[in-house]
Amino acid sequence: MRLPYLPNEAAFLSALLFPLLSSALGNLDCKNIVVDGKHFDLGALGGPRSALHSIEDYVGDEARGWTNTTYTIDICQAIVKKGFYECPGGTRVCGITHVINEEEGSDATQQIVPFAGELENYGGGPLNAKLERLSNSKAHSDADKEGLRIELGGGFIGRGKDKRPQKAIVEFICDANRTGLENLWVPPEPKPKEKGSLHEREENGGGEVIGAPGNDSSLQFFRLDKDKGDADTLRLTWRTKHACENGPKDDKEDKKSSHWGFFTWFIIVAFLSTAAYLIFGSWLNYNRYGARGWDLLPHGDTIRDVPYLLKDWSRRVLSTIQGGGSRGGNPYLLGLQYLKLAVGTQLEQRLGVRHFQWKASILYIN
């Protein structure tokens, strides 16, 4: 039999596990970022996203290979470690450098650098995220930019006396036409080191492993500042609509606006159709019958009597509901009598039908 946790035990476990959870998430909530009173939601950019920086290696004037560095960032949580040649757990920004020798057909991992994360347990420091609006930045280069800058710390490289702190600065720049996920670099899955494996990948259509993606990628490597200040600084730029201060348009809002557009056009078409009918009918009455004034309008007598008909009808309805009518009888028959009288009057005026015929009809209904 399993005994339930006592309140004291539950409180103890919560106090024990909360620091671990906070350490994993850090002090950055990607879905609720508030800077200078402005709210940003970067949750849609969550997950491991990568940018590639590629340098062609030369021996003399001849290209022999490439040095490719993949920079991977997860703005919402720590990057999940999948293999041995990766950054330690708790890393938010990771750089992995591969040296590709075209002649030998080799692809070797040269360096792995955790640039930012909650890495105290591995010799680094806390994430310690710092936020800044680009519009409030003192830098002259940020004068025309909209978005935010996030500085992430805790990274390191080397051991002992050779250990040097690392950090990453990511500029999220407002671009209303981008989600932020366009043309991102997708690192190849790690494979066993085999001579000729590189050539096999090229022959199988995997030549994208070599070389950088086009400049149209939303997430791009900008610069790596080494040996400057107290830490090496990796700089990335990320263009996305989620960095706009007014926020991106929601899909529901787009649907609402499209529905409103449909009804607007429906009203416009109905109005124009009614106007065209009245104008054409007036022109026809003028040329065929020589009508003037109200007689120009199609069904002019009916239109002229509508306010009075509605007023009288509303009175009868109220009288029927309140039960204060002076005449008894079936309300349905009374309404039918009134309708017969109104229609008969119109037909008598338009067609010359004798009035006593309609009086007889009313008496017949009674």
User: In 3D, which of 75, 161, 61, 177 has the Cα closest to residue 116?
Assistant: 75
Q: Is the same domain home to 188 and 303?
A: no
pLDDT at position 140 is 76
* Domain's final residue, options 248, 269, 303: 248
Collect all residues with Cβ–Cβ distance below 8 Å to 256 and sequence separation of at least 6: none
Instruction: Please tell me the total count of domains within the chain.
Output: 2
Cite the beta strand spans of 175-282 per DSSP E: 219-225, 232-240
- Region 250-274: mean pLDDT is 73
In a domain, 127, yes or no: yes
Query: Do 59 and 206 share a domain, yes or no?
Result: yes
Q: Does residue 354 have a pLDDT over 90?
A: no
The reply to whether 356 and 225 lie within a common domain is no
At residue 250 the predicted structure's pLDDT band, cuts being 50, 70 and 90, is low
Report the alpha-carbon distance of residue 337 to residue 312 in Å, rounded.
Answer: 13
- 243 with 272, same domain? no
Q: What is the pLDDT of residues 97-135, one digit of tens each?
A: 999 888 777 888 999 999 999 999 999 999 999 999 998
Residue range 203-218: mean pLDDT, rounded = 51
Q: Please indicate, yes or no, if residue 216 is contained in any of the structural domains.
A: yes
User: Any idea what the CATH number is for the domain that residue 36 is in?
Assistant: 2.70.130.10
Give SS3 for 248. coil
Q: Last residue of some domain: 206, 221, 248?
A: 248
Domain check: are 243 and 123 in the same one? yes
d(CA 85, CA 197): 18
Give the pLDDT of residue 332: 55
Range 71-82 average pLDDT? 93
**Res 344: pLDDT:** 57
| 235 lies in the same domain as 268 | no
Residues 109, 149, single domain; the answer is yes
Q: Which amino acid is at 205?
A: G
Report the pLDDT averaged over residues 176-187: 92
Residues 233 and 258 in one domain: no
Residue 304 lies in a domain: yes
Containing domain of residue 312, as a range?
Answer: 252-365
* Residue at 65 is within a domain: yes
Determine, yes or no, domain membership for 11.
no
Q: Higher model confidence: residue 359 or residue 122? A: 122
Give the integer Cα–Cα distance in Å for 278 and 276: 6
- Residue 266: band (very low, low, confident or very high) from pLDDT cuts 50, 70, 90: confident
Confidence band for 191, pLDDT divided at 50, 70 and 90: low
Q: How confident is the model at residue 213 (pLDDT cuts 50, 70, 90)?
A: very low
Residues 286 and 224 in one domain: no
Average pLDDT for 338-361: 52
